[in-house]
Structure 1
């Protein structure tokens, strides 16, 4: 090409042949791509193995929490409506039973209390007056009824007296009078007859004869009059008198009935008035007592000995930053918590256990508590209570996270500690003797089954295993392995030599993936599986990283059958490391923090992060899955 003539000839040839130019450019691009790929492919990482052996294994669950008093009194405002704090004891004060803790503003209440006392006095006077009025009414009614009953009794007595006494006596008198008149008439008749005989003989004068005749006539008239009087008495006077007396008796009885009804209404009205006054007095007294109680409620005293801790209000209601500070001058509503008065003589640790461990935890299990402020001491404890349902607050914040509130009661005597201090509880589940164990990261899930990759010559073979109990470092192998087997500490991920459903990829499929262009190649899915690649949804792989250990222990796939979360190299799988060390449970703050940071990344940053993660494990950085031991060409 140094000869100008040759160079011009070549350029002329290329100008005449555009197809040759395009082919040459394509060859240059392929060469450049192969060179870049070789340069960016990291060297393979040496695999590390663990020798399966038997030994004692302590099964425990370690969770963090905070100290809480067993006996805690919550001081609430019982003052009606809103009130203002005038004075309050400083937080942290140790209060004795009966000590004044809080004083609320009660100036308006005092005025209402004075007015209510006046109302009570008026109601009491009205009640006494109604009571006296009822007593007077009853006395007056009794007197009137007795008088009416007496009049009716007298009327009946008069009637009986007349019928049984006066009338018969008068009849007897008139009858006797008639008898006398008849006798007088007979004597007058005899005398007249005798005088007539004497007059005929000349012994009597004519005047004597006429006088005796007149006497006879008078006797007849008197007899007839007496008989007529008796007849009139029996026919008219006696019935008339009886009817008059009967009427008087009936009137007396009806008057007595009317009086009883009238007085009964008067008594009922007086009693109703008394009940009304009494109820008004009771309501007034009840209101007065309520105001007095409210006045007492404005001065809140300690119900027991304890440490004064200000209560926090609902973080979603009012206040700066969602908080209503408890301080002098603050507005307090009724039933709002003001002070918590814990009895620090006996305390517990309130922890939250992940759902993967909750079946192992039960009340009565032994535990040990370590307080963060005293890390060199352990306190003996027991599990007191395990919640039946998951914690609703954590479930609301993260629906995929289910933890159960658990109380661990500290049995040893504690030093001077305050509630809320961070602590960690280790619950002893069981202690396995001479159990066959492997590290947690050595077990993975393929097609919904737990497997370990066992060293077989220069390669590894997946061996199905049956797992048992586990702690934060090791897991029990019940079957599938034997003592002396060497298992891979970094099993192949789901995209190394298994598809997204967990089925192993054949050699032909693997070779096809190797030769396919990187930009268009994706892992081959098994029939009937519509899952996308890991890089297409990096958030799913991040979720798998936090849930795979629980899935291995429970025998369930972590995210989908066959999906195994990325595991760091064997160097990071030692006890105490990020993945192989002590597990903090489903609510580990460090894992949660890493998960949140990953979810904040953009899709491009997530894909880059996942490629870097595979590179550290010896996997190709490209999207095409490849066997772990493949060397870059």
Structure 2
């Protein structure tokens, strides 16, 4: 780059009006760095607009002329290599973390938690959770378990009694009833035989005239009664053996099955209550969380708008919530947000250079999120995509360290470049002012890729041309163009000379 000073013209008025802008204002918004976006840029544009309008008013009234051209910095167009990068701020983290989670069912309250950055070894206490609710649940569940145990014990007894009742009937009650009926039958048979003998004796005596007909009739009726009683007893024995026994056995078996079903239900209830008691008792050791591996503990990442971690003493935590993280310091990476203007150019494996304090570490793009992170006031409403940069193993890296990451997007070799400060955008077109032997010429540019300082130029200028830097500060036409209202007519519409340029005033 060469810098020349053009001769200063004479001042025509005692008072002068200067329109100056930062070189970054001449570039296209699409070419600006993501760092320049946010609240600062709108305020800067507003300030410049007020200055421009005020100066324009004075100029149009004829009271003040534009500032004399004075010294103009120029740049000679030449071929060079252009490296296109994007730089973002991020933080260091581990790609492999041992998460310490809350395993208490239903969550709990943190009573004590170890400080972040503390080195730990297996068995060290990391977090203590409140146990009062769990103690109350255990006591209540023990009562329910004992009640279920009593109910099950009664059911077991009922089943045993039902089985004994069946044996008692078959081997006791049924046999007793059967023997009783057989005994009664024997007695009835004996009584019937005696009654029949008496009828025979009375009949003989009646023939001899010793007894009356009435006596004979009475003895005959008595014998018939004894026969009927004997028949009844035989019928009872038959019913007992064929029907009463089967009915009673079926009834007792039904009672046994009902008792067994109730016992199974009570047993399931007992097991359920026992499982609940075991679960409640299992919660107690989970309230005292210890380290399983050695390392350094850190707090999990919180939302960007919060200035303190979610995990602190007195905080309520839910089940499976991550309380602490023990990172693997041998597998480190940088997490950063890439602006939406560059995310489509980010490719896996792209080289990156990471600055950690005063050291530089080589890395490469590991992943790019397909969904943007939430935008809000905490990040200036910028739309960014989470990107991970894989680092080479290095000693002394710690999670949470600030990192400045430069990702190399493209490299253009032996191309014509023009400084960003020499380019002015007007209604979607880009222009520069070229120094010639006669005057300053405005050239319409065909631009390509860019970085924060230079832009690849595909047409409009050639190698060796001298372009004016910050033209709106020193070129009157550039100042007038800045004051023009936006209309349907574009700046490129005036007739151009044979070289595609127009003379500056």
TM-score range, shorter chain: 0.5 to 0.7
**1:389 pairs with 2:371:** yes
SS of 2:96's equivalent in the other structure is strand
**Residues 315 and 322 of structure 1 are in contact (CA less than 8 Å); yes or no, is this contact kept in structure 2?**
no
Deviations 1:481-519 (A, max 9, x none): 433333343354794375424722999xxxxxxxxxxxx
In the TM superposition, what is the alpha-carbon distance from 1:349 to its structure 2 partner? 0.9
**Residues 441 and 504 of structure 2 are in contact (CA less than 8 Å); yes or no, is this contact kept in structure 1?**
no
**1:361 pairs with 2:386:** no
Cα distance change of structure 1 residues 137 and 459 upon mapping to structure 2, 3 Å threshold: same
Between Structure 1 and Structure 2, the one with more helix by share is 1
Cα distance change of structure 1 residues 427 and 344 upon mapping to structure 2, 3 Å threshold: same
- Where do 1:142-157 residues align within 5 Å? none
1:350 counterpart residue number: 335
Normalization by structure 2: what TM-score? 0.62
Q: How many residues align?
A: 381
Cα distance change of structure 1 residues 130 and 55 upon mapping to structure 2, 3 Å threshold: same
Deviations 1:578-616 (A, max 9, x none): xxxxxxxxxxxxxxxxxxxxxxxxxxxxxxxxxxxxxxx
Cα distance change of structure 1 residues 365 and 312 upon mapping to structure 2, 3 Å threshold: closer
**1:53 pairs with 2:78:** yes
In the TM superposition, what is the alpha-carbon distance from 1:338 to its structure 2 partner? 3.6
In the TM superposition, what is the alpha-carbon distance from 1:296 to its structure 2 partner? 1.3
SS of 2:400's equivalent in the other structure is coil
1:127 counterpart residue number: 152
Q: 2 CA distance for matches of 1:262 and 1:429?
A: 90
Q: 2 CA distance for matches of 1:124 and 1:41?
A: 102
Q: 1 CA distance for matches of 2:167 and 2:422?
A: 105
In the TM superposition, what is the alpha-carbon distance from 1:300 to its structure 2 partner? 0.8
Q: 2 CA distance for matches of 1:294 and 1:448?
A: 66
2:109 counterpart residue number: 83
Q: 1 CA distance for matches of 2:483 and 2:83?
A: 34
1:490 counterpart residue number: 470
In the TM superposition, what is the alpha-carbon distance from 1:262 to its structure 2 partner? 3.0
Q: 2 CA distance for matches of 1:150 and 1:395?
A: 95
**Residues 326 and 338 of structure 1 are in contact (CA less than 8 Å); yes or no, is this contact kept in structure 2?**
no
Q: Residue 419 of structure 2 is aligned with which of 436, 439, 443?
A: 439
Query: Structure 2: where are the runs of 5+ without partners?
Result: 1-57, 177-226, 472-477, 495-501
1:288 counterpart residue number: 277
SS of 1:496's equivalent in the other structure is helix
- Where do 1:332-347 residues align within 5 Å? 332-335=316-319, 337-347=322-332
In the TM superposition, what is the alpha-carbon distance from 1:369 to its structure 2 partner? 1.1
In the TM superposition, what is the alpha-carbon distance from 1:388 to its structure 2 partner? 0.8
Q: 2 CA distance for matches of 1:78 and 1:92?
A: 23
- Where do 1:331-480 residues align within 5 Å? 331-335=315-319, 337-372=322-357, 375=358, 377-394=359-376, 398-399=380-381, 401-411=382-392, 413-457=393-437, 458-467=439-448, 469-480=449-460
Q: 2 CA distance for matches of 1:477 and 1:150?
A: 120
Deviations 1:33-53 (A, max 9, x none): 89x976796444544333222
Normalization by structure 1: what TM-score? 0.51
Cα distance change of structure 1 residues 351 and 333 upon mapping to structure 2, 3 Å threshold: closer
1:69 counterpart residue number: 94
- Where do 1:474-553 residues align within 5 Å? 474-491=454-471, 492=478, 495-496=481-482, 499-501=485-487, 503-504=490-491
Cα distance change of structure 1 residues 51 and 312 upon mapping to structure 2, 3 Å threshold: closer
Q: 1 CA distance for matches of 2:465 and 2:491?
A: 23
Could you say which structure has the larger radius of gyration?
1
In the TM superposition, what is the alpha-carbon distance from 1:62 to its structure 2 partner? 1.5
1:301 counterpart residue number: 290
Q: 2 CA distance for matches of 1:106 and 1:262?
A: 53
Deviations 1:337-361 (A, max 9, x none): 5433322222111111111111111
Deviations 1:109-152 (A, max 9, x none): 4454355345434534543553454355356557868999999x
Q: 2 CA distance for matches of 1:479 and 1:628?
A: 18
Q: Residue 326 of structure 1 is aligned with which of 292, 297, 312?
A: 312
SS of 2:318's equivalent in the other structure is coil
SS of 2:482's equivalent in the other structure is coil
Q: 2 CA distance for matches of 1:340 and 1:82?
A: 19
Calculate the aligned-residue CA RMSD, in Å: 4.4
Cα distance change of structure 1 residues 423 and 506 upon mapping to structure 2, 3 Å threshold: closer
SS of 1:359's equivalent in the other structure is helix
SS of 1:344's equivalent in the other structure is coil
**Residues 314 and 322 of structure 1 are in contact (CA less than 8 Å); yes or no, is this contact kept in structure 2?**
no
Q: 2 CA distance for matches of 1:385 and 1:150?
A: 89
In the TM superposition, what is the alpha-carbon distance from 1:278 to its structure 2 partner? 2.3
Query: Structure 1: where are the runs of 5+ without partners?
Result: 1-32, 152-236, 508-626
Cα distance change of structure 1 residues 464 and 294 upon mapping to structure 2, 3 Å threshold: same
SS of 1:389's equivalent in the other structure is coil
Deviations 1:459-495 (A, max 9, x none): 222324041x323322223444433333343354794
Q: Mean alpha-carbon deviation: is it higher for 470-479 or for 246-255?
A: 246-255
